[in-house]
Every structure is written in C-alpha cells, then in structure tokens.
Homo-oligomer: A and B are copies of this chain.
Amino acid sequence: MSFTIGEKIRVTVFGQSHADAVGVVIDGLPAGEEIDTDRINSFLKRRAGGQASYTTARKESDEPRILAGLSGGRLCGAPLTAVFENANKRPADYGNLRSIPRPSHADYTAFLKYNGKADMSGGGHFSARLTLPMCFAGAVMIQLLERRGIDIGAHILRIGEESDRSYDPVSNLPEKNAEGSVPVLDPEAGKRMTALMEKTASEGDSVGGIVECKVTGFPAGIGDPIYDSLESRISHGIFGIPAVKGIEFGIGFLAAQSLGSRINDSFVIREGKVLCETNNSGGIQGGISNGMPILFRTAFKPTPSIYKEQRSVDLETMKEVPLKIEGRHDSCIVPRAVPCVEAMCAIILYDELMKNG
C-alpha cells in the first residue's frame, strides 16, 4: 500500500508539499505506553537541517499537532495521529515545473501516472516533506524500542569522496548517537564533508552519499524466512525514502568478491551465550535476527534539484528545452537523511517485534 507501511503497526502518511498539511496515522500501538513529545521534537529537529549553505532555506513549522491517540500523555489504543501545517508555502517558485519535468525527479513519472493531474507544486506527494510524518512515526517507535533495550544509530559514512569510519560491526553496545548537523563518528571526516558540501552548494550542484545504520540489542529469532525476511522488510521501507539507490546488509556487495571460508561468521560462546565472532551477515541469517547488531548501508543519490542549467523537454510542446530550477533546495540531503534512515529502521523493526516477538 502506497502510503501505508507495516503489518501489525501500520503507519499511514498523507499530505503534499504545498497542501494545507502533511501528517501521519499510526494504528496498532500498545495502549498505556508513555510518549515523550519533547523527545519527538528533538528528533524532528535533527531532520530539519541547520543553517548551513547546503541546506534549503525553506523554514517550516515542524511542530506536530497530535489530534488523537494520546490520553494523559499515554497511548490509548486509538490510532496516534499527528498533523504538521504547511505554513511556509511558496507554490509560485515551482510554477514552471509543471510542463517541464526536472531530470531525475518524479515530475515526469508523476505526470504519466496521474495523467497530468498531480499537484506537483513543491514535489507534491513525492516531496521529501513526507519524511516529516515518517520521522514522527519513527521517533515514537524509537522510544518504544529503547524501553526494550534496543538502540538505533546512524551516521554519514560517505559524502562524495569523503568518508567516515564504519561502525564496529560486532560490539552490541548502543552507539553514541552521531551528533550535530553533520552526524559522523570522526569529527575530522565531518569537517571534510562540510567543506565538500559547501563547495558543491556554491557551484549550484548537488552530491550524494551513504548512510550507515546499526541496531544494537535487537533480540535473536525475530524475522521470517523467504518473502518476509528482515532484509526484505527493511529494504522495502528504506526504498520508501526519496533518493535511495541501493542497500546492503553486513558485508554487502563486498560478499561478491569474497570466499566463504573468509566471511562465514563462526559461532563462539561468550559468557555462556552464543555469539558470532565476526558479523559479515549484518545480524541477519535466513531472514531472521541472530542477536548480533543489525547493520546496513544505504546509498543516496545527489538531490536532482540543482541550480545549474539542465536539459529537459516541454511535455506540452514536446520540444527539448533548457531548464533552470529556482526556489529552495538542499545541495546535499545526506545529513538530513540520517534520522530518516533511523526512523524507517525503527518503524520496521518495532513492527517485526510486535508481529513476531
């Protein structure tokens, strides 16, 4: 279902970039759990991006109004529903995009799917603004997961040619959350990335990157074989985030170049518990968690909205035309994608826990 994800916990998002609002309905959450709205707001601030030159100048009220589902600060069994008003609309900026699709954006495919009737102002319902209600849902799940000893961390592993160090794949202690507007493990890498993003922004260009995500404390034995493997479900969700081009678990694509004798994860006994000595499997075997950290990496393409002139076509005249995009947009969405990856990961894993736990 296009705007709904989840089996036992169902997250439905709605809204367009320049409609009255975006929002989310979360059905199936357990009654009685306390929800800390301050922590939700802090999480949403991480997604909002900062004041940097490489981040959109569009400033929105990202404060949710909770319409239903809470009673006295606790979940009450009714779907938790939150709405974010779209205060800062500027549809005029996007007027010229209607008939001239932006390369590598959803304009052209939306035109085809909706027979030219989609409201594509600001990206319409394909806009990254739809990640706001998604992050709200994720922020809720993160609280619920934490109460069960499960922590989710993500950081920027790469932007362009600049890279951070990787997570320790074996340690099952919570990762200290990568902080700041450029969340990395190595502050020096963050500085290099910042410089690269600023340079890219100044050139009117955009740049891609990789987000690495690690989940600690997730119990073993959760997941399903075959068509509902944990990898199937996580990847399904992650590709729901705009601009994702790839995902890999554990050793990922490097497995293609490896020998079994090198990358098989030997079982060992540590303090009376079965563990793996290495974690090339990324915490999942046969589609089911094995008690090691769950580890995956997500590739983001450069945002397609760039200031440089591009080649496109006019769908009305069916002629090739140059296109220069105005308006506000990020030149690198990877920093803001970090909490999005955490949020979607939390949505899927909490659902799995409720479904199979």
Contacts and interface: CB of A to CB of B under 8 A. Distances in A.
B265 A104 contact: yes
A135 B236 CA distance: 22
A245 B235 contact: no
A296 B299 CA distance: 14
Interface residues of A, number: 143
B31 A77 contact: no
Contacts of A284: 109
Given A1-B227, A20-B67, A226-B2, A119 B257 contact: no
B240 A302 contact: no
Contact of A83 (B83, B269, B290, B300): B83
A23 to B, nearest CB: 7
A207 interface: yes
A81 B14 contact: yes
Interface string A117-139: 11100001110001000000000
A320 interface: yes
A110 interface: yes
Contact of A228 (B2, B22, B226, B320): B2
A87 interface: no
Contacts of A227: 1-5, 236-237, 240
A153 interface: no
Contact of A109 (B1, B31, B81, B221): B221
B1 A272 contact: no
Give the residue among A200, A205, A274, A284 with the most B Cβ atoms within 10 A: A274
A224 B286 contact: no
Nearest to A25: B14
Contacts of A1: 10, 27-28, 227-228
B71 A119 contact: yes
Interface in A314-337: 315, 318-320
Nearest to A79: B14
B263 A3 contact: no
A275 B356 CA distance: 32
A57 interface: no
A56 interface: no
A245 B250 contact: yes
A77 B237 contact: no
Given A104-B281, A268-B313, A258 B208 contact: yes
Given A76-B16, A245-B250, A158 B299 contact: no
B103 A267 contact: yes
Nearest to A290: B109
Given A235-B235, A265-B103, A16 B68 contact: yes
Contact of A258 (B32, B259, B260, B302): B302
Given A28-B2, A248-B299, A257-B161, A232 B240 contact: yes
A160 interface: yes
Contacts of A65: 20
Interface stretch (A141-149, A182-190, A304-312): A304-312
